[in-house]
Structure 1
Amino acid sequence: MARCKTDDGGKRTVALKPPSIHPKNKLNVLTGNEWLFFTKSVLRTSYPHGLGHRLRREQGGNKPPQLMQHLIEFFTKPGHSVLDPFAGVGGTLLGASLCGRKATGIELNPRWVEIYRQVCETEGIEPQETFVGDCREVLPGLAASGRTFDFIATDPPYSIALEKTMCDGTYDIQHRKTDFDKYSDDAADLRNLATFEEFYDAIERAFALTFPLLRAGGYLAVIIRDSYQGGRYIPATYEIAQRIERGGYVMKGIKVWYATGARVRPYGYPNAYIPNIVHQNIAIFRKEENRKQKRGSMRKPGGQEKAR
């Protein structure tokens, strides 16, 4: 509703038409302005703590359900289904519940699934479908049963468990908000692998197993954080993206996600440049429809092209 002036100087209330959804929009139910906002390559957020954050924070680096809702609302319509093969404490599952989507989560660590269910009970949310186990063992069973999903969104391990080499002691306590080093002792936990090559091989295998489960034309969003170790920047986003493309996906872009308030630490000061990695990358892939999938390494970079 809005107030406007009449010819005689008075005012009247008029009803405004709700923003229209393009009749050819097959991806979501967003308006044109909402669509354009999402396509910005940088996303800056300041989400309030909620939805059981006190419980969920036990898993270091868990993602805000509001962030996952933001992704799900762009890549799905109401009633669509979402898969998260590395569900953790359920950020994706909660995000799906916030916007009326069905979701299925797979998580190796039963403790994280227990926390997710506790949050659902506390918040009065109906739990989504969850499987406790190694996604590399669960995914083939889902495919064999004929399951398909409209969107896959996940936040996998970023690397093997790295020794913390910088900012120990006082600086570590003063500048750390949460514990990103928490992981399980399970041999199937990808972080327990001995080398980066083994880790990337396992990631490649896991995402290749998701490919048959995603409908043709559907999207995959993977949240990845680069790291710095042993005096070298480790571009995990690039490495993992290469491996995912080998499974048949086509990379479509990266959204840089920056959560305001991320603390910085005096790495390298005052002798050398060492980055404070305060952002994470949301890598977007698509399972192309009516087009032969190009398996192999990432294509050579080029200019922007018209969407197919």
Structure 2
Amino acid sequence: MNDNSWLLLEYEDPRYRIPTALRARDVRAARDIGWVEQMRPFVRHFSAPGGLVLDPFAGFGTTLLAAHLEGRRSIGIELDAARAALARERLQLQQADDARMLTGDLRNLRDRLPTIDLCLTSLPYFGAPAMPETSPQQLYGQLQYEPFLEQVHEIFRSLRDCMKPGGHVIVMAENLRLDGRFVPLAWDVARVLAGLFELREERVLLYRRIAKELAPGEWHSNRSHEYALIAEVRRETLDVAAAMALWHEIQAGGHAATLRGSLARRLAGDHGVVPADMDLKVDFDATKLQALLQFLVERGFALRCWQRPLRLPVDLEALRERDYIRAERLDRDGRRLVVDVGWT
């Protein structure tokens, strides 16, 4: 892989396509299957020979086949049992004995997984036609966008426990057009990943498709590109000086907060601790919490809870069981400061 920000996909090897007989047995005619050629460069570049690749939305096993062809072991997870069975047949036909296909949900299977070197997947798209019996546990079964994104967040949060430090999470995603409306799915998923891992880069994947001229004022495109979002599994270190300056401001403002967590331990003398964020605890008091959140917003922080953006005033009772709100500020020099405001 070179440093071009794009990857042009021009040729799909017929040897690695899903066989016609298997495609015919799928109730959805095996629609929207990615190319093996789409996945191979990422497998090759972001994992070592013999490494373990995971696809948590494995579908018909395309990522697993790409891993096999590059000499890597792989595990796929697919919630649709019929689709998983077809994927196993496809992999058997390719003699991919180093690929293992599991039926289920990553959130329930994570304790059974070994340490993963690379997570590489294509995200199921919101708004894709679903069968009437599709489970709401499946992303295709979500009827509203915000619950869809929240479910994506839950799945990748579960993934964190399985990943090797320094490993990579790469997600293929496309912005959508639904009923004439532009839906920034790829960019919203990037924000989800950035809240869990360190978002590093992107590649724009390009496909050659027949183009037609648009009449003046027409705006739709042929959707001939998607994004590969590249994140690294690592704890981002906290800018302690910036955090302490903010803490002194909070104290001077009279906010009844207590400093907890790794930063508090470091200040207490444990210099082996490398803090990643600033952890504050406050009483669950609507007035005090709203005042502290207002203070942070005025200093350039954005508020989120489980990746859902929040606006002031916050409905705290609706979030009480979520335990904390994350405040995040990104400065123009690239420095990021994260404050978790929790309650007791």
- Per the normalisation by structure 2, the TM-score is 0.64
Q: Distance in 2 between matches of 1:298 and 1:63?
A: 35
Unmatched 5+ residue regions in structure 2? 24-28, 238-274, 278-306, 308-325, 336-344
Q: Distance in 2 between matches of 1:159 and 1:265?
A: 26
What is the aligned-residue identity percentage? Answer: 22
Are residues 151 and 127 of structure 1, via their aligned partners in 2, closer, same or farther at CA, if it must alter by over 3 Å? closer
Q: Which residue type is aligned with residue 112 of structure 2? A: L
Are the aligned partners of 2:198 and 2:232 in contact in 1 as well (CA < 8 Å)?
A: yes
Q: Which residue type is aligned with residue 40 of structure 1? A: N
| Cα displacement string for residues 82-111 of structure 1 (whole angstroms, at most 9, x for unaligned residues) | 111110100110011001111111001122
219, 224, 239: which one pairs with 1:278? 224
| Cα displacement string for residues 101-148 of structure 1 (whole angstroms, at most 9, x for unaligned residues) | 111110011222222222223233326111101222222x236xxx21
Q: Distance in 2 between matches of 1:158 and 1:301?
A: 32
| Correspondence for 1:54 | 19
The structure showing larger relative contact order (alpha-carbon pairs under 8 Å, at least 6 residues apart) is 1
Q: Which residue type is aligned with residue 78 of structure 2? A: E
Unmatched 5+ residue regions in structure 1? 1-34, 162-180
Alignment root-mean-square deviation, CA: 2.7
SS at match of 1:53: coil
Are residues 269 and 133 of structure 1, via their aligned partners in 2, closer, same or farther at CA, if it must alter by over 3 Å? farther
SS at match of 2:19: helix
| Correspondence for 1:257 | 205
Tell me how many residue pairs correspond in the alignment: 243
| Correspondence for 1:154 | 121
Are the aligned partners of 1:160 and 1:190 in contact in 2 as well (CA < 8 Å)?
A: no
Q: Which residue type is aligned with residue 157 of structure 1? A: P
Higher normalized strand content (fraction of residues): 2
Are residues 112 and 293 of structure 1, via their aligned partners in 2, closer, same or farther at CA, if it must alter by over 3 Å? farther
Q: For the pair shown, which has the larger CA radius of gyration, 1 or 2?
A: 2
Q: Distance in 1 between matches of 2:212 and 2:331?
A: 34
Q: Distance in 2 between matches of 1:255 and 1:209?
A: 25
Q: Distance in 2 between matches of 1:279 and 1:297?
A: 33
Are residues 43 and 235 of structure 1, via their aligned partners in 2, closer, same or farther at CA, if it must alter by over 3 Å? same
TM-superposed deviation, 1:276: 2.2
TM-superposed deviation, 1:301: 8.0
Are residues 194 and 65 of structure 1, via their aligned partners in 2, closer, same or farther at CA, if it must alter by over 3 Å? same
Show the 5 A alignment for 1:185-264.
185-246=134-195, 248-260=196-208, 262-264=209-211
| Correspondence for 1:85 | 56
Q: Distance in 1 between matches of 2:145 and 2:207?
A: 27
